[in-house]
Structure 1
Amino acid sequence: MLCLPLLLLFPHSSWAHAFVVESSPTENQVLDKSPSQVTITFNEDLQSAFMSIKVTDETGKRVDTGKAQLNPKHPSTMEIQLIPGMKNGIYTITWRALSADGHPVNGVIPFQVGSGSNAYTDQATPSESSGTSRIDLIAVRWLLYIGLSLLFGAICFRLFLLPSINRDKNRSEQKMLNQQPSDTLPRWTKLLWSGYGITSAAILISLPLQASWDAGVSIREGFSLPILGEALQFTGAGKIWFIQMILVLLLSVTLIYAIDPSISNRQRRVWGYSSVLLTLSLMLSKAFVGHPAAATHPA
C-alpha cells in the first residue's frame, strides 16, 4: 500500500537489455576506404567487464587490434581500433557486451570495403541476441528468496508475534519462555538457521554462476580466479556480492546473540532488531542487481 502511490506518481519505462542504436560501420554498409576503428553505441551504459569486439575478413583472419574498450566520455559506446590498410572485401564485426542490468548481449554486423561483385549471401547476416537466463541462475535466485523468507519470518515471529502470545499466558509460563527461548522454541531455531544457511549458500554461489554467464564460459571456468576477479572489479553484480557477503557475516553475529540464553531478554531483543535491519539490507541489495541497475536512479 505504501509503495503503490510511488508507482503511480513516478512511473518509469525500462528496456529489458541493452541494444544497439548506432554503429560505425553500419550493417551492410559499403565503404570506399578501410575504417580506422569500429564503434558500437547502445541505448544505455555498459559494464566494462567481459566485453569484446572481433573484426574478421572473408578468410576469418582478425583485422582488429584485439582490445575493445568503452569510450571514456560515453560509457554507452564500445570501440576498437583496426589495423591500417585493410584490403577490399567483406568483413564481419562480432561483438559481445554486458548490459547495465548484468545481462550479456551479442551480435554480428557485416560491412564491405570497396565496391565489387561480392555479395553478403555467403556471409553472416546481421543479428543481435541475448540468451535467456540459465536454469541454475533461476534456481539460485529462488533459493535466495526462500532463505530470506524463512530468515525474516523466523526473526519477526520471535520479536513481534511471540510476545503477544505470551501476554495471554500466565506469568509462570511467560517467565519460562523468556528465560529459555532456545529450549521452548526448537523449531523456531531450526527455521532461523535454515533460512540463514540457505541465504548464505545462495549468495555465495551466485557470483561464479553469474560470472560464467556474463563471460560466456562454462560454469567450471566461472570459478577461476581471473573470471571472479574481473567480475568483482568491473561488474555491478560483483560489487553488490561483496557487500552481501559482509552483511551475511555481520548477520551471523547478530543472530548468535539474538538467541543467546545467557544474556537478558532486552539485549536479545536489541540483537534481534539488528538482525531485522541486516536482513532487510540483504533484500534491498538484491534489488540493485538486475533491471533497476539500468535505471537513471536505481534506488
Structure 2
Amino acid sequence: MRRSAAHTSVNDAVRHCGAELRSRPGSTKADALRGGTSGREAIVRRRVKLFVVWILIALWPTATKALFRGQAILNRAVPGVGATVGLPPAELLLSFNHDVAPALSGVGVADSNGRSVPAGQPEPVAGRAYELRVRLGRALKPGVYTVDWSVVSRGAPSSGVYRFTVAP
C-alpha cells in the first residue's frame, strides 16, 4: 500500500516531535506539536489573554455608560458645535439622542470674557421630545460664545459644553 504525501509528512512531524522531546526535558508531545511551546510559556500566554479579557469586561460599562444608563448625548445644535455664523442667533436649538425633561434642564451662554448672556428657560419643541429651544435675551455681538448645557433623560443626568462663533 502506497502512502500519501500528507500521511508521510504527519509521520515525519511525529518523528521530529519525538526528537525534540528528547532534546528539551519538561516539554510534552502536545507542546512540540504546537510549535515547541513549553508549559510555562503556554500558562503565561493564557494568563495574559485572561487579563486582557478581564480589562475589556471591566471597562465595557464605562465605555458604554451613555447607552446603558440612557444618558442624553447632544446630537445636533443650532448654531452648530464649533460653527461660525454670520448672523447672531436669536435662539439655540439643542437636539439629543433621547427624550429630555425641559423642567430639569438648564442652558447657559457666556461670551469670550466669561460674562453670562441672558437666556430663557429651555422649552420643549412641539412634537419633538428630544429637542430643546432656548431663546436668547439679547442680540449677540461678534465673538466666541460658550454654551453650557445640562439635561435629565430617563432619570440620568447629562451635561456638556460647546462653542460657536459669531463673525462680523
TM > 0.5: yes
Structure 2 counterpart of 1:92, one-letter code: T
Task: Report deviation, 1:50.
Answer: 1.9
- Preserved contact between residue 34 and residue 84 of structure 1 (Cα < 8 Å): no
Aligned to 1:44: 98
Distance 2:120 2:90 in 1: 14
How far off its partner does 1:108 sit?
Answer: 0.3
Note the aligned Cα RMSD (angstroms): 1.7
Distance 1:82 1:48, change over 3 A: closer
Asked if the contact 2:109/2:118 (under 8 Å) is kept, the reply is yes
1:76 aligns with 2:96: no
Q: Residue deviations 1:84-128, cap 9 Å, x none? A: 43110000000000012x00000001000006xxxxxxxxxxxxx
Alignment of 1:270-289 (within 5 A): none
By how many angstroms is 1:48 displaced? 3.0
Cα distance in 2, alignment partners of residues 48 and 81 from structure 1 = 14
In the alignment, the residues of structure 2 paired with residue 80 and residue 45 of structure 1 have an alpha-carbon distance, to the nearest angstrom, of 16
Residue number in structure 2 paired with 1:181: none
Distance in 2 between residues matched to 1:62 and 1:37, nearest whole Å: 15
Structure in which a larger fraction of residues adopt strand: 2
The within-5 A match list for 1:72-151 is: 72-100=126-154, 102-114=155-167
Shift in Å at residue 49 of structure 1? 3.2
Whether 1:59 aligns to 2:110 is no
**1:46 & 1:110 partners in 2: Cα distance?**
21
Give 1:68 deviation, angstroms. 1.5
Match of 1:21 in 2: 75
The structure, 1 or 2, with the larger RCO (C-alpha pairs under 8 Å, 6+ apart) is 2
In the superposition, the TM-score normalised over structure 2's length comes to: 0.55
Number of residue-to-residue matches in the alignment? 101
The whole-number CA distance in structure 1 between the counterparts of 2:126 and 2:139 is: 27
| Aligned residue in 2 for 1:31 | 85
User: Which ranges of 4 or more aligned residues in structure 1 deviate by more than 4 Å?
Assistant: none
Secondary structure of the equivalent of 1:46? coil
Residue 67 of structure 1: how far off its partner (Å)? 1.4
- For residues 148-194 of structure 1, what are the alpha-carbon distances to aligned partners after superposition, in whole Å with 9 as ceiling and x for unaligned? xxxxxxxxxxxxxxxxxxxxxxxxxxxxxxxxxxxxxxxxxxxxxxx
Between 64-73 and 52-61, report the one with greater CA deviation: 64-73
TM-score by length of 1: 0.32
**2:77 match: secondary structure:** strand
Deviation at 1:69, TM superposition (A): 1.8
Q: Which has the larger radius of gyration?
A: 2
Relative to total residues, which structure has the larger helix share, 1 or 2?
1
Alignment partner of 2:104: what SS?
strand
Q: Distance in 2 between matches of 1:110 and 1:63?
A: 14
Identity of aligned pairs, percent?
Answer: 25
Contact 2:102–2:122 (CA under 8 A) maintained in structure 1: no
